[in-house]
Amino acid sequence: MTEEEEKTILENKVKNALLQIRPYLQQDGGDVEYVDMTNERVVIVRLKGHCGSCPHAMATLKEGIEKAIRRAIPEVKSVERV
């Protein structure tokens, strides 16, 4: 399997994990959007709605989104926002 194929598989897993997380964010008027994944397996997301301007956005990102993604996909190193 090529590196590009492996990245595509991981990206699909990340997108599926985000689909599982989104309803919880949407309950509070927020949302998350997949942007990219680096070659170092750092996932880049965009926090939207209330999550984009919430003072607790960093905690949501690291303690919620990142933990859930890394639990489902251990190959992911971290999750960062744009």
pLDDT for 4-49, tens place per residue? Answer: 899 999 999 999 999 999 999 999 899 999 999 999 999 999 999 9
The model carries a pTM of: 0.91
CA distance 26 to 74: 25
Of residues 21 and 55, more confidence is placed in 21
The three-state (H, E, C) secondary structure of 3-31, written as one string: HHHHHHHHHHHHHHHHHHHHHHHHHCCEE
DSSP state of 1: -
**Domains of the chain and any CATH numbers:** 3-81 (3.30.300.130)
- Asked which of 23-27, 34-38, 54-58, 71-75 is least confident by mean pLDDT, the reply is 54-58
**pLDDT value at residue 52:** 82
CA distance 73 to 67: 10
